[in-house]
Amino acid sequence: MSLYPSYARPRSLQQAVDLLSGLQGGVVVIAGGQEILPSVNYGVLMPDVYVDIGGIEELIGISSVGDELVMGALTVHRDIQGHADVQRLAPLLAQSVSAMGGGWQVHNRGTIGGNIVAMHPLYDIAPSLLALQADIELIDAAGTRRLSFADLLADSSHGLGTKAILTRVFVTASPQSSWGYYKLKNTSGAYGSANAAAVLETEGEILTAIRVVIGAAADQLTLVSDALAGLTGAAYDAAAGAEIERICAQAIGTPLSDHQGDGTWRRAMAGVVARRAVEAALLPATGPDS
């Protein structure tokens, strides 16, 4: 905590990593600033050193290699929303990034990397990444490594934001799957009270795989897939919907209870958004912005 913080703007990823490895505590990595600056303005955060990676070109941009979508960590939300490769390979991600609040400023300045590193339980991108079984790549003094997003969530010593830099996000498309995203919020400007990303596989009418990730209902994402296995092998119907709602609500261990809504409601809503995300996946014509 310093009244007179230092500021560094490294020109390459290697410079940034070298800089971070030489610094002690009180460091924040900043890029779009949509996470850090409100905290600083609010007096919650007073870093000693800002390491601004916003100028590192190699971290910006979207490309695809075969069925794999590769997004630089500094890609801003608006570029993800409209990008043809994202629409083609991971439309669920485009949808959830579009559902994000904060208006034009956040969409134009906020980055996918910043959103992930914040690890905020109410944010929109993480449920989709987990549902899509995304990978991420990070770099620190020990070098570059690629790991699954699920493993990242389980690892509390990743050092992202202070010691390590998130570099890329990878999503591999699975052409036979369908998807849905449902976000419940109290006003259009509010954070979500519960949201769900669903990825399904079907053969004709028959469900063959269901993977649902619920966000904003607990302090961590809730992945529900094994518990839903009993619903595969049959067509979706109202009874299946009620069962999804029940199972997903039950999957929430300790629900959040805050201004967005009390715990009892949040748990119930986890079920409702899960069902609605699944229904959106099954009815693509009406699904995407349900």
Partner 1 sequence: MADSPDGDLKYVGRSIRTKEGRAPLIGKAKYTSDYAFAGQLHACIVRSPHAAARINRVDLSAATRVAGVRLAMHGADVAALTDPIPDYLEPALFGGKAAAHRCLAIDEVWCYGQPVAVVVAEDMRTARYAAARVQVDYTPLEAVVDAEAALAVGARTIVPGWDDNLLMHVPFMHGDTVAAFESADQVVSTEVKIHRFSTQPMETRCYNAVWEHNTESITLYGTSQNPHPLRLVLAQTLRMPENKIRIIASTIGGAFGLKMHGHPEEGLICLLAKLTGQPVKWLESREECLLIGAREQKHYIEMAVNNDGTVLGLRDRFYANTGAPSACPGWGMAFLTGLTMPGPYKVRDIDVQMHAVSTNKPSWNAARGYGKESTAIALELAMDNVARQLGVSPVTVRLKNFIGKDEFPYDSPTGLLYDSGDYAGAVEKTLQAIDYDDCLEEQASARESGRYIGIGVAFELTPEGGAIPGSMVVGYDTSSVRVGPDGTVRLLTGVTSPGTGNATGIAQIVADELGVDIDAIEVLQGDTNASPYGFGNYSGRSTIVGGGSAALAAQDVRLMIDKVAAALLEVERSSLVLQRGVYTSTADSSASVTFAEVCYAAYTRAYDVALCIDPPLEATRTFRPPSIRHTPDANGNINPYPSYSNAAYATVCEVDVQTGQVKLLKFAVTHDCGKVINPILVEGQACGAIGFGIGGALTEDVRYDASGRQLTRSFMDYVMPRMSDMPPIAVEHHDMPNPGNYLGLKGAGEAGVGGSAAAVVNAVNNALQPLGVVMNELPLTAPRVWAAIQQASVAPTPGGDQ
Contacts with partner 1 by CB under 8 A: the residue count is 21
Q: Whose CA is closest to 235, among 195, 202, 210, 266?
A: 202
Q: Which of 143, 175, 189, 204 binds partner 1 (CB under 8 A)?
A: 189
Q: Which residue in the set 3, 65, 238, 285 belongs to the binding site for partner 1 (CB under 8 A)?
A: 3
Is 12 a binding residue for partner 1 by CB under 8 A? The answer is no
Do 63 and 170 meet the contact criterion of CB atoms below 8 Å apart? no
151 binds partner 1 (CB under 8 A): no
Q: How far is the CB of 103 from partner 1 (least distance, A)?
A: 9
The Cβ of residue 107 has, within 10 Å, a number of other Cβ atoms equal to 19
The number of residues making up the chain comes to 290
Contact pattern for partner 1 over residues 195 through 234, marking x by CB under 8 A: ----------------------------------------
User: What DSSP string runs through 72-127?
Assistant: ETT-BHHHHHH-HHHHHH-HHHHHHHHT--SHHHHHHH-BHHHHHHHT-TT-SHHH
Q: Minimum CB separation from partner 1 for residue 96, in Å?
A: 18
Q: Verify binding: residue 187, partner 1, rule CB under 8 A.
A: yes
HSE-up of 158 (CA within 13 Å, CB side)? 25
| Alpha-carbon distances, residue 204 vs 92, 198, 212, 235, 285 (angstroms) | 21, 18, 20, 9, 16
| Beta carbon nearer to partner 1, 66 or 189 | 189
- Smallest distance, Å, CB 102 to partner 1? 11
Residue 221 tokens, joined: 């994402």
Q: Does 180 bind partner 1 (CB under 8 A)?
A: no
By C-beta, is 59 or 269 nearer to partner 1?
Answer: 269
**Nearest residue to 216 via CA among 152, 266, 284:** 266
Among 128, 167, 193, 202, binds partner 1 (CB under 8 A): 193
Nearer to partner 1, 218 or 269 (CB): 269
Helix axes 263-282, 238-251, angle to 10 degrees: 140
Q: Is 188 in the site for partner 1 (CB under 8 A)?
A: yes
> E strands within the chain?
6-8, 27-30, 49-52, 62-65, 68-72, 135-140, 143-148, 165-172, 177-185, 192-203, 206-215, 222-224
Smallest separation (angstroms) from partner 1 to the CB of 43: 6
Alpha helices (H) along 167-209: none
Q: Which of residues 40-99 bind partner 1 (CB under 8 A)?
A: 42-43, 46
Examine residue 184 and tell whether it contacts partner 1 (CB under 8 A): yes
Q: Which 251-270 positions form the footprint of partner 1 (CB under 8 A)?
A: 258-259, 261-262, 264-265, 268-269
Interaction mask 268-287, partner 1, x per CB under 8 A: xx--x---------------
Question: How far is residue 107's CA from residue 170's CA, in Å, rounded to a whole number?
Answer: 20
Interface positions with partner 1 (CB under 8 A): 3, 42-43, 46, 184, 186-191, 193, 258-259, 261-262, 264-265, 268-269, 272
